[in-house]
Chain A
Amino acid sequence: MKLSGLLLCCVLVFSGAAMAREAAPMAADLEVEKRMVAISEELRCLVCQNESLSGSHAELAQDLRREIRKMIAEGKSDKEILDFMVDRYGDFVRYRPPMKPTTWLLWGGPFLFLAGGLAALIAFLRRRAKDNAAPVLSDEERRRAATLLDQTKP
């Protein structure tokens, strides 16, 4: 009982020490790491194109994350870092490409489809409303209807 208590103590003490050793460098880099992740999530990994730079295990992605960390340490702004990437790999690296004449269709396309869909819906509804409009009865028909209705009365 005593021995196991001692062992438990040892385990607790040493694991505590080990944790402290691990945690220290993280705390210092936490801000850098957070910014690095935020920036790299906006960027596409060119090796595995459907993965973000922050999630990719490709070697190039690791190198680029290292570059981003370095630029953050040098005090570069987020925009400068994004520009660095775009200068080398083109707008394709950005998940949110900038608005410019070549990307107008890309950004406006969904709204065009929406407008087209709305126009089609309105046209359809109008036509249906016209088809379904209650037919106007002539006086003659009205009289006939009235007599038929009267006949069914008990």
Chain B
Amino acid sequence: MKRFLIPLGVFVVLVVFLAVGLTLNPRDVPSPLKDKPAPAFTLPQLAAAGKSFSPADMKGRVWLFNVWASWCVSCRQEHPLLVAFAKEGKVPVVGLNYKDQEADAKGWLAQFGDPYVLSAVDADGRVGIDYGVYGVPETYVIDKAGMIRMKHTGPITPESLQKQILPLVAELSK
């Protein structure tokens, strides 16, 4: 009996490792931008022609930076939640319209509602690269000093909003 103990132990350890590994989300890559200043940029605004937006404009406020595109399927999934959330007016949501066509983007907001105080147009995706965007939608929580405090990859769910984003926003707004 004793000779089976070691293989059994090894097997149990292996099962535990595999079980944990299978429940991890491979898309959830920790962002090196956490607790670093939000990369600076100046981009034209989608709605107001001639106006531009830069993260420095939001200094002194806690805000959400949401990367979206009309061609992005998961963005449709999270959009109703964002619209409802924006109506509460707890925290401003700025959009980054990533690699999109202007007409498509405007049409999309007209059809599904516009939760953004404004959307910056990143037509060639260059700003997206600076923010380490690899799977739209992505959402950043940026604090009053302009530091990225959290990055959420993929559509925001009611759960991630209630358990992660809102508590962090409340803490940062103090």
Known contacts A46-B29, A49-B26, A63-B125; A88 and B135 CB within 8 A of each other: no
Known contacts A46-B134, A46-B135; A67 and B129 CB within 8 A of each other: yes
Minimum CB–CB distance for A52 against chain B, Å: 15
> When chains A and B are docked, how far (Å) is the Cα of A64 from the Cα of B134?
11
Q: Indicate whether A90 reaches chain B with its CB closer than 8 angstroms.
A: yes
Query: Do the beta carbons of B129 and A63 come within 8 Å of each other?
Result: yes
- Interface size in chain B (residues, C-beta < 8 A): 16
Q: Indicate whether B131 reaches chain A with its CB closer than 8 angstroms.
A: yes
Contacts of A63 in B (CB 8 A): 124-125, 129
Query: Do the beta carbons of B29 and A88 come within 8 Å of each other?
Result: no
Contacts of B132 in A (CB 8 A): 88-90
Known contacts A88-B129, A88-B130, A89-B134; A59 and B29 CB within 8 A of each other: no
Query: Do the beta carbons of B29 and A60 come within 8 Å of each other?
Result: no
Instruction: Encode contact with B along A111-145: 1 for CB under 8 Å, 0 otherwise.
Output: 00000000000000000000000000000000000
Contacts of B26 in A (CB 8 A): 49
Contacts of B30 in A (CB 8 A): 90, 92
Q: Indicate whether B164 reaches chain A with its CB closer than 8 angstroms.
A: no
Known contacts A47-B134, A59-B99, A63-B125; A92 and B29 CB within 8 A of each other: yes
Known contacts A47-B134, A47-B135, A64-B129; A89 and B29 CB within 8 A of each other: yes
Query: Do the beta carbons of A89 and B32 come within 8 Å of each other?
Result: yes
> When chains A and B are docked, how far (Å) is the Cα of A13 from the Cα of B170?
74
Chain A, 70-91, CB within 8 A of any chain B CB: 86-91
Q: Indicate whether B33 reaches chain A with its CB closer than 8 angstroms.
A: yes
Query: Do the beta carbons of A86 and B135 come within 8 Å of each other?
Result: no
Query: Do the beta carbons of A90 and B29 come within 8 Å of each other?
Result: yes
Minimum CB–CB distance for B4 against chain A, Å: 15
Instruction: Encode contact with A along B117-140: 1 for CB under 8 Å, 0 otherwise.
Output: 000000011000111111100000
Instruction: Encode contact with B along A31-59: 1 for CB under 8 Å, 0 otherwise.
Output: 00000000000000011010000000001
Query: Do the beta carbons of A88 and B125 come within 8 Å of each other?
Result: no
> When chains A and B are docked, how far (Å) is the Cα of A63 from the Cα of B32?
20
Q: Indicate whether B31 reaches chain A with its CB closer than 8 angstroms.
A: yes
> When chains A and B are docked, how far (Å) is the Cα of A90 from the Cα of B34?
11
> When chains A and B are docked, how far (Å) is the Cα of A64 from the Cα of B129?
8
Between-chain CB contacts (< 8 Å), 12 pairs: A46-B134, A47-B135, A59-B125, A60-B133, A63-B124, A63-B129, A67-B129, A87-B32, A88-B32, A88-B33, A89-B29, A90-B31
Please list the residues of chain B having a beta carbon within 8 angstroms of any beta carbon in chain A: 26, 29-33, 99, 124-125, 129-135
Please list the residues of chain A having a beta carbon within 8 angstroms of any beta carbon in chain B: 46-47, 49, 59-60, 63-64, 67, 86-92
Q: A46-B29, A49-B26, A90-B132 are in contact. List 18 more A-B contacts (CB 8 A).
A: A46-B135, A47-B134, A47-B135, A59-B99, A60-B125, A60-B133, A60-B134, A63-B124, A63-B125, A64-B129, A88-B33, A89-B29, A89-B132, A89-B134, A90-B29, A90-B32, A92-B29, A92-B30
The 4 closest A-B pairs by CB, nearest first: A46-B134, A88-B132, A90-B32, A92-B29
